Structure 1
Amino acid sequence: MKITKKTILYIVIAELFTFILLPSLLLGVHGIFNKLPAPAVPKIFVNKVEIPKNIRVYRHTYGVTEVVPFEDYVKGVVAGEMPSNFETEALKAQAVAARTYSLSKIIRSGDGGNPPAHPDAPLCDDTHCQVYRSVYDLTALKGDNWMQKSWPKICKAVDSTKGQLMYYDGQLAEQALFHSSSGGRTENSEDVFASAVPYLRSVDSPYEEGATHQEETKYFSTKDFIYLINLKYPDRKLSAPISKVEIVSKSDGGRVEEIKVNNSSYQGRELRDALGLSSANFKISLSNGTITITSTGFGHGVGMSQYGANGMAQRGSNYKEILAHYYTGVKIY
């Protein structure tokens, strides 16, 4: 091959481009990208709580404390607290709520000791904490057929959410309260209990078809009414005759806040406790010596309505959507 001056020129130009111009161009482009803002990296703000393998549960029925695998305990709570024929997404929502609530009780017991009602365990098996049923209990209560058909459904729902908890503002949502049905709207926590909890806000709960204790009516003679009220609240000394019964105020959720009987004032939940009403969401009237009370809903009305959760699931909501509706602003991790 004959090397000409033209060929030598091409070789020189190629070497200049390869070893001088190209690196300069690449450095320039790199510099441009260095000046661009870095892509946002999501911050992990959750104070993640460690879930124990086993927990201690006081069994009121047997008078003993048992060591139970934590996730088995959650399964027993879902079986004890929610009908097994509910939609799977509702069962999942119940599992996350129950897991979150029970773990908060365990954490609090580490700070200040176990509750006086069961000093050897942070949790018990009745409504003082959450209703828990072991496999043995469920077999005795519901039979082999239920265990073959419904128990696997509950186990699958709990297993699919294993380890998942609700958090609010990066902290465990310790008050993951729930109730059977609200009667159409849940309550702000401060309208029922002592303090305002930011994720326990009053929200609509419209899908409670099939809920128990709807439009439940009870009748009391004025004599029995006075006896039951004074038995529970003797400080107010209600006396006959009863001439006036008046609801003074209601909460955002529609429950009776204050009611006046003659000149004595009571909270709606006080009447609920004294008279054994299913809910403080009630109407009351006095006629011919008989007091008639019609209540709707079952339970305190704070947090998740179980029948409302099932109604949402029937309409296509998944368990995270259900929880986000009833617990304002929570995240699930």
Structure 2
Amino acid sequence: MLLATAILLLFTTVMAAAPARAAVPTLDNIRVALFLQLPGKYTSTTPEATFSSPGGMTIGITVGGGAAAPWMTAPASANVSLALDDFKVKVLETANFANALSLYKYLQTASRTAYLTSLSKGGAIQYQVLEGAYTTVAEAQAGLARWSADAKLAPLTGGYKSELQGPFHLETPAYANKAAAQAAAAGFGNAGVDAWVAVREGKGGALYSVMVGAAASADALKTIQAAALKAPGGAGLKAVEANSAYLLLRSDHSASQTAAAPHELYQFPAGDMKLWIAPAGQQPIKLAERSGRTYRGSFELSAVNGKLAVVNELPFEHYLYSVVAIEMYPSWPAEALKAQAVAARSFVLNKGLGFQIAHVVDTTLSQAYYGTTAEQPSATAAVDATKGEVALYDGKVIEAIYSSSGGGMTADASEAWGNTVPYLQPAASPDQISEAALLNWHRVVLDSGETGYIRGDLVKDTGRKNEAGARILETTTDGINVRRHPIIQDTVPVVAGIGKGQTVIEIDSVIESNPMNWERGPFTGEEMATAINARVSDKINGLVTSIAVSKRGPSGRVTEITVNGKAVAVSSPDGLRSVLGVGGSLPSTKFEIEETGKMTVLGAGGQTDTRTGSAPLYVMGSDGRATAFNGEYVYAGDGKGNVRAATSAPGFAFSGQGFGHGVGMSQFGAYSLAQQGYDYQYILQYYYKGITIAKE
């Protein structure tokens, strides 16, 4: 059917039409959340965000939605970190940098929210190791209890008693400049209290003051105030007003991990304050915590649900430059890239401000977006060539869903999410292109009785067969990893390692797992129970002994399964990919299940006997003697080379087609259609039924 479809498409002439003119929604700038916590919807957090730009940066603030003029700059290529002024645990204060660094590394490994900072105190530099980005004092107290009970900390802290830090501060009047504020902070430090330079907005630039203490409560701040009276200027200290806008400056050694090279860490209150950063020149801004990627436009930082939110704001079309280059291979035909550009543009305009303070996020929950780091000339050209074009159905911008591969047939929307969408219907999809140039893998039996996959170019046929007619293969090199699935990925376990000259028995041969065809498993009943129970509320008692498909949708995708005879409840059918995934989701819901722990024996008169579980299988010869097969693995052959691998205990292997939810445009299908000479409009209208392509 697919081959016939491909041939039909090849010889059909389609005349490209100019996009219709219509009232199309527009978006000048898009807001992309890189870090944001929205409980129940999206979570990607970081305790701090570190920015730099070759041309320097300009920093400003907005409070309560009001715009503020730029009032602070960062030098070219200098790292500047931003974080919330929240609750933390001070785990150590010491003059010994090596001790502080050792503790920082331990805490960072354990919690990923550690800081190594320094300040002038008692006439010397003291290093403080802080942990946490806690929203409330109760959370910080729980953190304090955790670290106080950690026996591994004692050798690293030398008996130092951990304490809480928080966003309650005292503040001096403004000083003439930053240097004067730094000198005043050192004076407070000489009196034995923590003090830092603070920055506020002033007329024509920044104002510098000193903030003293970082208390976790107003009462604790009173104790600090009494101690600060001993320092020059201590009598003039006043408590910082709640919801006021400021930046508290710490010296941060976390990134450099050296005593001599701290960078500036600015903390701002978790209120209405919004901090923004823009490049001072034409160079993009680098964000270290997002894999060091660089981005066009500016950034806004704020507190959302008590956590640091980082949003990149940039021209909408420039955002698409990155998305198209990541979501589709830039080397693919131009018409496929144009189809991707229109789909990506339509997807955003359909969603609106979908994430409270942002239109989209930068992951595949929306669309993958990696900033300028990912941009490629071919993708940029595709975006420019289709500027402003969107897909409409009944006059409205469609939700242009797409996935990597339809596995030969795209899905109906109901098969993925349970709802019907008129333009998201199944379509035969020429996705076989993803298998081009891939190697075959052999599923083999090792001397241990275990099974796994070996890549075809690592073995040779000996020309011999065993008694069951199965081929005997011989390895041709050393250092071969026998893998659980026929694909090389870090997440795919290695069953065993074997060397050159070893013989193995071939069970079958399959092409390397790819977006068109894939294999997963077999998985044990225990593994399946663990995976399923991690994702459903109605837990399974004991092992999984059976998994059966109870319903399929129009394209053949699984929409319901039963486990141990009981239907599994999921929020949407596509959720079954996650529910059934061991070590990661299944690639798609278009699959078949083989229960490897079940064997059916055909007897005289056509009668059958199905065996499951750990009961041994007996084979009786003509002499009346019976042999029990009660090992972990059982292999049945017909003497013609056809072998089935079964397990004595329950086991489950999945074979499927497609990658992703399968709804809407198949990207590999778009590639194939473009190769056959079809333009982007035809590709879009092929996958999204009844749409028109329009631009303003």
Same fold (TM over 0.5): yes
Distance 1:286 1:184, change over 3 A: same
CA distance in 2, matches of 1:99, 1:321: 17
The letter for the 1-side match of 2:576 is: L
- State the partner residue of 1:305: 666
1:47 positional shift: 5.9
Equivalent of residue 202 in structure 1, options 423, 426, 435: 426
Alignment partner of 1:128 out of 360, 365, 368:
365
Query: For residue 37 of structure 1, what is the aligned residue in structure 2?
Result: none
Contact 1:244–1:286 (Cα < 8 Å) also in 2: yes
- Structure 2 contact 405–431 (Cα < 8 Å) conserved: no
Q: Which moved more, 1:53-62 or 1:276-285?
A: 53-62
Q: Deviations over 1:110-141 (max 9, x none)?
A: xxxx42xxx32111211121111211x32xxx
Please say if 1:177 is aligned against 2:401: yes
Which residue among 564, 576, 585 is the counterpart of 1:271? Answer: 576
The within-5 A match list for 1:63-102 is 64-102=310-348
Q: Cα offset for 1:206?
A: 2.3
> What are the residue-to-residue correspondences of 1:138-153 with 2, within 5 Å?
138=374, 151-153=376-378
Partner of 2:443: none
Q: Does 1:282 align with 2:643?
A: no
Structure 1 residue 188 displacement after superposition: 1.1
Q: Is the 8 A contact 1:46 1:170 kept in 2?
A: no
Measured in 2, the distance between the counterparts of 1:244 and 1:230 equals 15
Give the letter aligned to residue 251 of structure 1: G
Are the equivalent residues in 1 in contact too, given 2:334–2:382 (CA < 8 A)? yes
Residues 157, 70 of structure 1: alpha-carbon distance in 2 compared, 3 angstrom cutoff:
same
Which letter maps to 1:124? V
Letter in 2 for 1:302: V
State how far apart, in whole Å, the 1-side matches of 2:34 and 2:537 are.
34
Q: Do the aligned partners of 1:46 and 1:171 also contact (CA within 8 Å) in 2?
A: no
Higher helix share: 1
* Structure 2 residue 445 is matched with structure 1 residue 220: no
Q: Which has the higher strand share?
A: 2
* Match for residue 193 of structure 1 among 408, 417, 420: 417
* Corresponding residue of 1:232: 535
Q: Helix, strand or coil for the counterpart of 2:589?
A: coil
**Counterparts of 1:272 and 1:291, CA distance in 2:** 14
Q: Distance in 1 between matches of 2:681 and 2:342?
A: 9
Q: Partner of 1:215: helix, strand, or coil?
A: strand
Shift of 1:262: 1.7
Question: Following the alignment from structure 2 to structure 1, what is the Cα–Cα distance between the partners of residues 21 and 536?
Answer: 45
**Cα distance between partner residues in 2 of 1:294 and 1:168:** 36
Question: Displaced runs of 4+ in structure 1, greater than 4 A?
Answer: none
Q: Which residue of the other structure, out of 557, 563, 566, is the alignment partner of 1:255?
A: 557
Q: Normalised by the size of structure 1, how large is the TM-score?
A: 0.75
Contact 2:519 2:653 in 1 (8 A): no
Q: 1:49: how far off?
A: 2.3
Deviations 1:276-331 (A, max 9, x none): 10111111111222211122211001000000100111111110000000000000
3-state SS, counterpart of residue 167 of structure 1: strand
Residue type at the aligned position of 2:414: E
Q: Secondary structure at the match of 1:292?
A: strand
Alpha carbons of structure 1 residues 52 and 243: separation in structure 2 relative to 1, 3 Å: closer
* 5+ residue gaps, structure 1: 1-44, 139-146
Q: Name the amino acid aligned to 1:96.
A: V
Q: Is the contact made by 1:100 and 1:165 (CA closer than 8 Å) also made in structure 2? A: yes
* Shift in Å, 1:242: 4.0
Instruction: Kindly indicate whether the alpha-carbon contact (under 8 Å) linking 2:403 and 2:663 is maintained by their aligned counterparts in 1.
Output: yes
Distance 1:64 1:241 in 2: 43
Secondary structure (helix, strand or coil) at the match of 2:674 reads helix
1:159 aligns with 2:421: no
8 Å CA contact 2:558, 2:589 repeated in 1:
yes
Decide whether the 8 Å contact of 1:79 with 1:133 is kept in 2: no
For the aligned residues, what is the CA RMSD? 2.0
The answer to whether the 8 A contact 1:59-1:124 is kept is yes
Scaled by the length of structure 2, the TM-score of the pair is: 0.37
Q: Give the letter for the 2:321 counterpart.
A: K
Larger relative contact order (CA 8 Å, sep ≥ 6)? 1
* Residues in 2 aligned to 1:191 and 1:207: alpha-carbon distance in whole angstroms: 19
- Partners of 1:57 and 1:318 lie apart in 2 by 30
How far apart, in 2, do the equivalents of 1:99 and 1:81 lie? 13
% identical equivalent positions: 36
Aligned AA (1:307)? F
* Match of residue 142 from structure 1: none
SS at match of 1:132: coil
Change (3 A) 1:312 1:227: same
Look up the SS of the partner of 1:227 in the other structure. Answer: helix
Counterpart-to-counterpart distance in 2, 1:264 and 1:257: 14
Gap change, CA 1:65 and 1:241, over 3 Å in 2: closer
